[in-house]
Amino acid sequence: MEIKYVSTTCPYCGTGCGFNLVVRDGKVFDVAHWQRAPVNGGKLCPKGRYAHEFINSPDRLTKPLIKKDGGFVEATWDEAYDLIAEKIGSYKPDEVACLSSARTSNEENYLMQKFARVVLKTPHIDHCARLCHASTVAGLAAVFGSGAMTNSITDIAESKCVFVLGSNTFEQHPLIARSIIRAREGGGKVIVADPRLTPTAKQADLYMPFISGTDVAILNGLMQEIIRNGREDKEFIASRTKDFENLKEVVMKDDYSLENVSKTSGIPVESLRTAAEWIATADVATLIYSMGITQHTVGVDNVKSTANLMMLTGNMGRPGGGVNPLRGQNNVQGACDMGALPNVFSGYQKVTDEAAQKKMKEMWGVDELAEGRVGYTVTEMVNVLADESGKLKAMYIMGENPMLSDPDLHHVEEGLKNLEFLVVQDIFLTETGNFADVVLPAACYAEKDGTQTNTERRVQRWKKAQDPPGEAKEDWKIICELGSKMGYPEQFAFESPEAIFNEVAAVTPSYHGMSYARLDPDGLHWPCPTEEHPGTPILHRERFAMPDGLGVFSPIEWKPPAEVPDAEYPYVLTTGRTLWQWHTGTMTRRSWSLEKEAPIGWIEINPEDAKELGIEDEEVVRASTRRGSVEIPARVTPEIIKGVMFIPFHYKEHPANRLTHNALDPVAKIPEYKACAVKVEKITEE
Ligand code: SF4
């Protein structure tokens, strides 16, 4: 019996913890702590601890499948590739779209966007960052010139005031929560604003429950209070920023007095006043946010407002400070960095920029690329499919499951049914895979080499621990074989992920100085522009990444969510995640240690609302919105503010996204998962 330990990076959240996969006779059978792991020092949350359990599930896809007469039949790789090449190759570039995956490696995301742009010549390439942090990328880039977490995870521990807004860090990024605890141990104050009394909120020195969708009003109110008390950082504002007067004009309006913000948000005046004082007077303060901020029709406005607050108080470019969006999936930062987005190549080089196009054509050895225009986002793809039938005819989806993750699932289903040809590449047959014409079996994180980039911009290695099951292959290998088959053998002649990474480093300025040798064992934070550069854990120390080096204040007015409660749908519905499950559950629901802790969905209802509705705890109720209905057990709890209800979105049996709607942020095209109008009823026997 041979036992070996292979150090790699967790496949779940964007924290990027390292652990050892324990391999016996060629098969992974456990996870063991890797004490010198750079992000987590050997500690793991339950998802990471049990990240081996789904790897050898009997449900893994092991052979290509082709749909015949409404059912799937096993096929050879050649049969599957021939069919894909013939069908996808027959459409015009504008009729085909690709979805890349934040669960796959940097190398694979890079190849997927290259495949879309070089082989299919389509501009329509996107991935699920659209559903979580597209507003971060757009909002922070507009303010700072760079759309990513500004400080590192360990740096949060240096803070003297941690303001957590719209992030349940203790459940969703537990190993980042350790830094919050350390900040507190070092004398820092913790403020948490959330409609739910989450495990994160329970750790706060000041907890501010608020009505979902009122973030800008709260942030403007805090800024008004700080300015009224003369506590803004005048020196920082003068030397490092511009357009402060424009900001002031808006935030000093009567609408944003503490009294009015209290009425809008439900937060007591005294709490707002205390929060403003703590943020402004701390030696250094940091703001942490996640999807509570981004998943709104005003997601970009929300993000810009967080940046306004931290520039106003001079907390940028300093240890213990910054604006720190916590990215969701393990490699969502990397998938964005690699250009799996409709508007940029890798390193955020704009597709509309002629110099960038020329550079890519030369590097890729082609005369022609996808037109230099911005393609459809994920959400636009679904809208086009459902509402403009025939415009988009074929899709290639790698490692995404829109039939559970996207808003308004009825709409998504209509769209997928309108496709003439769908390829889904995944490790399990998902809800989306059921709609496919061809399913390609992929290797999981434990079965390949590669890199991923965590939320703090740290690029880290994955290392192969076992072979993929049956005939499953690494995503990078599949894309290379398909690209070669479709006429581009030279462009996809990679022998290894390392060879792909070397091309990434060559064309991506922020990755220029990276190589596999340099990434072992601690990784490197981008930007890392040269081979001697140590990486950049803290951004914007001397100047912002703008041509003039200045951060830009953005005056933002508060706007209510696209759908607000009314007589028919009188409550606000918000959605989110649990500690024990991950996204659409493809991996965690096949991990028995996790699944047994949280096997079914629920709707959280405040006791006062439950009493008015005559609903008991654990009673199965019907939750309905204008999009559909779900029958789901009630969890009656004072841990959610009156008037707001919450459903986790992991469960296909109780799909929260049957209820959510697809109203989009006009800039980032992110849907408003965090607020729509819902009604809840008792289910009575007919
Ligand atoms: Fe994995 Fe995130 Fe848990 Fe770390 S905190 S072990 S990266 S799920």
CB 210 within 8 A of CB 181: no
Our mutation pick for probing the ligand 1 site, out of 12, 582, 650, counting the most ligand atoms within 8 A of Cβ, is: 12
Kindly report the protein residue whose alpha carbon is nearest to atom 4 of ligand 1: 17
pLDDT at residue 315 greater than cutoff 80: yes
507 sits in which H/E element: helix 497-507
**DSSP secondary structure string for all residues of 111-131:** HHHHIIIIII--S-EE-THHH
Residue 178 CA to residue 661 CA, distance in Å, equals 34
Asked if 314 and 353 sit in the same domain, the reply is no
Per-residue pLDDT, 685: 65
**What is the count of structural domains for the chain?**
4
Per-residue pLDDT, 136: 92
Which of these three, 273, 292, 325, is where a domain ends?
Answer: 325
Residue 211 CA to residue 675 CA, distance in Å, equals 9
Per-residue pLDDT, 74: 98
- Is 564 within the bounds of a domain? no
Asked if 45 and 124 sit in the same domain, the reply is no
Asked if 578 and 519 sit in the same domain, the reply is no
Residue 406 CA to residue 413 CA, distance in Å, equals 10
Residue indicated by tokens 């009729």? 95
Indicate if ligand 1 lies below 6 Å from the C-beta of 10.
yes
For the stretch 145-171, pLDDT in tens is: 988 899 999 999 999 999 999 999 999
466 CA from centroid of ligand 1 (Å)? 21
Asked if 120 and 203 sit in the same domain, the reply is no
Kindly report the protein residue whose alpha carbon is nearest to atom 6 of ligand 1: 48
442 CA from centroid of ligand 1 (Å)? 22
Per-residue pLDDT, 686: 59
- Is 557 within the bounds of a domain? no
- Is 609 within the bounds of a domain? yes
Asked if 161 and 243 sit in the same domain, the reply is yes
Average pLDDT over residues 445-450: 98
Domain containing residue 206: 134-325
Provide the Cα torsion 52, 53, 55, 59; round to 10°: -170
Strands 65-68 and 71-74: antiparallel
Per-residue pLDDT, 388: 87
- Is 398 within the bounds of a domain? yes
Asked if 75 and 45 sit in the same domain, the reply is no
Residue 672 CA to residue 678 CA, distance in Å, equals 14
CB 111 within 8 A of CB 479: yes
Indicate if ligand 1 lies below 6 Å from the C-beta of 45.
yes
Segment 544-549 long-range contacts (CB within 8 Å, at least 24 positions apart) = 544/143, 544/144, 544/145, 544/146, 544/240, 544/316, 545/144, 545/145, 545/146, 546/144, 546/145, 548/242, 549/240
For the stretch 594-611, pLDDT in tens is: 999 999 999 999 999 999
Average pLDDT over residues 288-299: 91
Atom of ligand 1 nearest to the CA of 11: 1
pLDDT at residue 544 greater than cutoff 80: yes
For the stretch 329-376, pLDDT in tens is: 999 999 999 999 999 999 999 999 999 999 999 999 999 998 889 999
Asked if 495 and 626 sit in the same domain, the reply is no
Q: What is the mean pLDDT of the chain?
A: 95
Tell me the CATH number at 464.
Answer: 3.40.50.740
For the stretch 36-89, pLDDT in tens is: 999 999 999 999 999 999 999 999 999 999 999 999 999 999 999 999 999 999
Atom of ligand 1 nearest to the CA of 174: 5
Asked if 489 and 594 sit in the same domain, the reply is no
Q: What are phi and psi of 591, to 5 degrees?
A: -110, 105
Q: What are phi and psi of 450, to 5 degrees?
A: 160, -165
Tell me the CATH number at 677.
Answer: 2.40.40.20
Indicate if ligand 1 lies below 6 Å from the C-beta of 48.
yes
388 CA from centroid of ligand 1 (Å)? 40
Indicate if ligand 1 lies below 6 Å from the C-beta of 309.
no
Half-sphere exposure of 610 (CA within 13 A, CB side): 22
For the stretch 612-659, pLDDT in tens is: 999 999 999 999 999 999 999 999 999 999 999 999 999 999 999 999
Atom of ligand 1 nearest to the CA of 46: 3
Give the torsion sign (CA, 434, 435, 441, 444): negative
Per-residue pLDDT, 87: 96
Per-residue pLDDT, 239: 98
- Is 561 within the bounds of a domain? no
Asked if 186 and 126 sit in the same domain, the reply is no
Asked if 476 and 383 sit in the same domain, the reply is yes
Our mutation pick for probing the ligand 1 site, out of 31, 173, 178, counting the most ligand atoms within 8 A of Cβ, is: 173
130 CA from centroid of ligand 1 (Å)? 22
**What are the beta bridge partners of residue 260?**
none
Tell me the CATH number at 38.
Answer: 2.20.25.90
Indicate if ligand 1 lies below 6 Å from the C-beta of 17.
yes
Q: Report ipTM for this prediction.
A: 1.00
Asked if 188 and 97 sit in the same domain, the reply is no
Asked if 459 and 346 sit in the same domain, the reply is yes
